[in-house]
Amino acid sequence: MSDTIEKIKCLIIGSGPAGYTAAIYAARANMHPVLYQGIQPGGQLTTTNEVENFPGYPDGVTGPEMMVQLQGQAERFGTAVREGWATKVDFSGEVLKVWINDVKELHCETVIISTGAAAKYLGLQSEQHYLLTGGGVSACAICDGFFYRNQEVVIVGAGDSACEEAHYLSKMCSKVTMLVRSEHFRASKIMEDRVRKTENITILMNHDTVEVLGDGQVVTSVQAKNKTTGEIIDIPATGFFVAIGHKPNTDIFKDYITLDETGYIINKPGTAQTNVPGVFVAGDAADHVYRQAVTAAGTGCMAALDAERYLSTLE
């Protein structure tokens, strides 16, 4: 065996709430987990300024602070947390093979995939600026809508998720302006009807987002363009929500792991098991419905317990 190959009992790929929770449970079960943090250590929560809906934090916590605490807890029980990301896998044989940074080869008894999903953004420089400052751009209304209660916000999107988030925001915001980039919704009729019947939701069809405007720190308005007339308008808003979808970080697994049509890993109902024995999934890599830190953590627990049971069958 080459000196570059390392044998690992439990490999965890990804370092969000799902990955770290899996690591905590796996370490406490003496599975000696090794966790690789990935390209974005801490996952999507590192871009979240305030987290107020995770149990156990009565005064709230920042996303990065929570990830540091979860990492510390995982390491306390013996998890080896490493920098690097998985670039290739081979799950075709009895040995589960994973390559890190195209160089290091790992031979694993179990693998827990917790690579998450990345929110899609419009790509505007101003959008990214206020996303990074935490000053008013978000891809999760359920996570951040509370901070905009009694304020005016803008949301862009046309599918079921966009309609659901617009309706959610309407319950706490004084006004919600919905920008739909085409002449038609992509959402189901029932979801479209719901937002159209909500009094404080204004729908602007056939409008593109031109710019997210602000004072450098916080958002103050959103500039939109009517694609039919060319008219550009400024919409007063303190929050700009993007609901144009997510992309699961699962491309390297597609030759071995069963995915749905949008790339999410399909797990066996009620478990964290994938179609490959010894490979488990946790968090947003399989969840396109809830996408919350607390649900991700729960599936991380499930994945570690399922992995432990699987290992016991091999003994």
DSSP state of 296: H
β-strand pairing of 207-214 with 219-226? antiparallel
* Catalytic, out of 10, 108, 144, 306: 144
CA–CA dist 279, 301 (Å, integer): 14
301 labelled catalytic: no
DSSP lists the bridge partners of residue 155 as 178, 241
Task: Give the gyration radius of the chain's Cα atoms.
Answer: 21
**Which one of the listed residues 143, 163, 173, 306 is annotated catalytic?**
143
Contacting residues for 66 by C-beta, under 8 A, at least 6 apart: 17, 45, 51, 54, 57, 293
- Helices (runs of H) and strands (runs of E) counted in the chain: 7, 17
Which residues fall within 8 angstroms of residue 78, CB to CB, at 6 or more apart?
27, 32, 33
Query: From the candidates 10, 140, 163, 173, which is the catalytic residue?
Result: 140
The torsion region of residue 59 among left (phi > 0), alpha (psi -120 to 50) and beta comes to alpha
Which residues are tagged catalytic? 140, 143-144
